[in-house]
Amino acid sequence: MNKKIENFIDGDFIESGGNSIPVWNPQEGKIIAEVNDSSSNDLKIAVKAAKSAYIGWSNKTLKERTEIFYEFRNQLIDNLNPLSESICEENGKTFQEAKAEVLKGIELTEFACSMPQIINDEIQEVSRGVECRSSHEPLGVVSSITPFNFPIMVPMWTIPNALILGNCMILKPSEQTPIGSQNIAQLLKRSGLPDGVFNVVNGGKEIVESICDHPDISAVSFVGSTKIAKIVYKRSTNNLKRCLALGGAKNHLIVLPDADEEMASNDILASMSGCSGQRCMAASAMVGVGDIDSIVKKMVESAEKIVPGKNLGSVISEDALKRIERYIDEAEKDGAKIILDGRNFKVKGKEKGYFIGPTIIDYVSPNMKIAKEEVFGPVLAIMRTNEVDEAIKIENRSSYGNASSVYTQDGRLADYISERVSAGMIGVNIGVPVPREPFSFGGWNNSRFGVGDITGKSSINFWTRLKKRTTKWNKGAKRNWMS
Ligand code: NAD
């Protein structure tokens, strides 16, 4: 009998009606649990609980709410290993990668705990004896919908900030990796979070649509593919909710011949293969300007040390594996050169697992599918040009705009390129330019719909609304046109 992943509503794990969806261990290729495919009725129960918890929660002071998250941060530290193991099991990444993910979750919580220090509510005597004050107020019940690739970190982009700022939340994790959210729910409860403040409703399409439609949910945060981000953004805003929807990516790295060979080759390789390429910040397309043969050669040599099942995890599912291999097959058919081939990789003892080795494809033309579409696997497509401006043009033609990096030792050229690439997060000699807290995370173009970023200070505006109060107690206060 498989473990049953239940919804977490009003402080308890409860089963919902309806069908269940299998949860796989992708390294083993076997089912490890079943998760509820919740319906709009389940959502109604969760929203009701969140709505009644909101009154007490939003009335607590910012400091009181933050104190619960100090304890939650300690719980995350104490449970670092079991949380990481659970990520490996449901997602397929390596233990080191899973641990890095939980550590990032801790960093995000620490940032949220600094909210009392950084939130800038304002007060000013605007006229003699008349005070104007603006304060960040919570929105009410909000929702966060998350993808499979970071079962702990991506939910943690939203949970601590939204809750500390006084909101109650309905989290809808990926049905492919729902266990991380169960663990988060348990630790929040153990940290003293009042029942109903945080709820998890599992499932797929139906529950997401219900979230977009529910009249008592004020804001929807979404992270996932561009196709679904567009659907969620349109549906939520059509229902007059605020929405921030982060989508997919095709991150371009522009590599110049003067780049530090050792650093560039190691970094790019780590960026394209880490988490089996299933990161929205992964290097996916590389544009070499001039003679970059020695960097490419070094990358291929070093890639031999990256071995699936040893220091490279699996991809999420059989479907994902087939999709990735299809992209490589098509690139080969289109005339690109596979200089490192990770297809058809079998790990001894884990023959049913969904493994693929790092794959490097050279002489890709910008018009090929592999150059334009998100592959979401450990695959790097190399394009070549002799002109920096042509490299920039290739990057600019991408419909996405999550991240872009440049590798060079020439500061002026690095600036020239950074200013012209069309992406929200730029790296100079950095393969995965994730901004650390308190800097905010968010892309451009088809990688993000809505205003602002999802983390850091930018998130404050998303999770709150401003209340402006003008006060006069002194009868004799100087009169002006407002009095
Ligand atoms: P996905 O879009 O398939 O799923 C994301 C969420 O949407 C899940 O909770 C899923 O249940 C739900 N969903 C799926 N199909 C739906 C439908 N038809 N209608 C309504 N809801 C639906 O994404 P994924 O495969 O879980 O994650 C990988 C994608 O996420 C990649 O494209 C990756 O680039 C992107 N991603 C982006 C960022 C970012 O910051 N921009 C971060 C992480 C992942």
pLDDT at 473 over 90: no
**375 CB under 6 A from ligand 1?**
no
- Three-class secondary structure of residue 306 per DSSP: coil
Residue bearing the CA closest to ligand 1, atom 16: 205
Residues contacting residue 9 through CB under 8 Å, at least 6 positions apart = 42, 45, 46, 49, 196, 199, 200, 201
Residues 438 and 456: their CA atoms lie apart, in Å, by 5
Range 245-273 average pLDDT: 97
From ligand 1's centre to the CA of 150, what distance in Å? Answer: 11
**29 CB under 6 A from ligand 1?**
no
Same domain, 259 and 240: no
At 136, is the pLDDT very low, low, confident or very high (cuts 50, 70, 90)?
A: very high
Residue bearing the CA closest to ligand 1, atom 33: 248
* Domain membership flag for residue 480: no
* Domain membership flag for residue 476: no
Same domain, 29 and 176: yes
**Regarding predicted confidence, which is higher, 56 or 473?**
56
* Domain membership flag for residue 287: yes
Strand partners, 296: none
From ligand 1's centre to the CA of 179, what distance in Å? Answer: 16
Same domain, 243 and 255: no
pLDDT score for 15: 86
Residue the block writes with tokens 């990735």: 324
Range 15-24 average pLDDT: 89
- Three-class secondary structure of residue 125 per DSSP: strand
pLDDT at 348 over 70: yes
From ligand 1's centre to the CA of 146, what distance in Å? Answer: 7
Sign of CA dihedral 472, 474, 477, 482: positive
Residues 302 and 94: their CA atoms lie apart, in Å, by 19
Residues 217 and 80: their CA atoms lie apart, in Å, by 32
Report whether 356 contacts 309 (CB < 8 A).
no
**151 CB under 6 A from ligand 1?**
no
pLDDT score for 361: 98
Tokens, residue 4: 């049953």
What CATH number does the domain containing 209 carry? 3.40.605.10
**35 CB under 6 A from ligand 1?**
no
Residue bearing the CA closest to ligand 1, atom 10: 174
* Domain membership flag for residue 240: yes
From ligand 1's centre to the CA of 247, what distance in Å? Answer: 7
pLDDT score for 128: 86
Same domain, 89 and 208: yes
Same domain, 463 and 364: no
Same domain, 170 and 272: no
Same domain, 34 and 167: yes
From ligand 1's centre to the CA of 1, what distance in Å? Answer: 29
* Domain membership flag for residue 97: yes
At 476, is the pLDDT very low, low, confident or very high (cuts 50, 70, 90)?
A: confident
Task: State the chain's mean pLDDT as an integer.
Answer: 96
Residues contacting residue 322 through CB under 8 Å, at least 6 positions apart = none
**401 CB under 6 A from ligand 1?**
no
* Ligand 1 mutation pick, 21, 108, 149, max ligand atoms within 8 A of CB: 149
Structural domain count, the chain:
2
Same domain, 77 and 141: yes
Active site residues: 280
At 480, is the pLDDT very low, low, confident or very high (cuts 50, 70, 90)?
A: low
Residue bearing the CA closest to ligand 1, atom 9: 174
pLDDT score for 16: 81
* Ligand 1 mutation pick, 21, 228, 271, max ligand atoms within 8 A of CB: 228
**223 CB under 6 A from ligand 1?**
yes
Range 247-268 average pLDDT: 97
Alpha carbon 228 to chain centroid, angstroms: 14
* Domain membership flag for residue 474: no
Strand order in the sheet with 242-246: 12-14, 7-9, 198-200, 168-172, 141-145, 217-223, 242-246, 448-449
What CATH number does the domain containing 359 carry? 3.40.309.10
Strand partners, 379: 359
Reported pTM? 0.97
Residues contacting residue 77 through CB under 8 Å, at least 6 positions apart = 106
Residue bearing the CA closest to ligand 1, atom 22: 205
Q: At what angle do helices 388-397 and 411-420 cross, to 10 degrees?
A: 30
* Domain membership flag for residue 85: yes
From ligand 1's centre to the CA of 282, what distance in Å? Answer: 16
pLDDT score for 54: 98
Same domain, 176 and 46: yes
**208 CB under 6 A from ligand 1?**
yes
pLDDT score for 298: 97
Range 405-422 average pLDDT: 98
**Regarding predicted confidence, which is higher, 483 or 114?**
114
From ligand 1's centre to the CA of 47, what distance in Å? Answer: 22
Residues 396 and 422: their CA atoms lie apart, in Å, by 6
* Domain membership flag for residue 312: yes
pLDDT score for 479: 61
Residue-wise pLDDT for 157-185, tens only, equals 999 999 999 999 999 999 999 999 999 99
pLDDT at 483 over 90: no
DSSP character string of 398-442: -S--SEEEEE-S-HHHHHHHHHHS--SEEEES-SS-PPPTTS---
Percent of the chain at pLDDT > 70 equals 99
Same domain, 256 and 224: no
**Regarding predicted confidence, which is higher, 128 or 51?**
51
Same domain, 101 and 208: yes
**145 CB under 6 A from ligand 1?**
yes
**205 CB under 6 A from ligand 1?**
yes
**231 CB under 6 A from ligand 1?**
yes
**Regarding predicted confidence, which is higher, 472 or 215?**
215
pLDDT score for 478: 60
Range of the domain at 259: 251-399+403-428
| Atom number of ligand 1 nearest to Cα 249 | 34
**200 CB under 6 A from ligand 1?**
no
Same domain, 212 and 361: no
Residue-wise pLDDT for 72-102, tens only, equals 999 999 999 999 999 999 999 999 999 999 9
DSSP type of residue 447: G
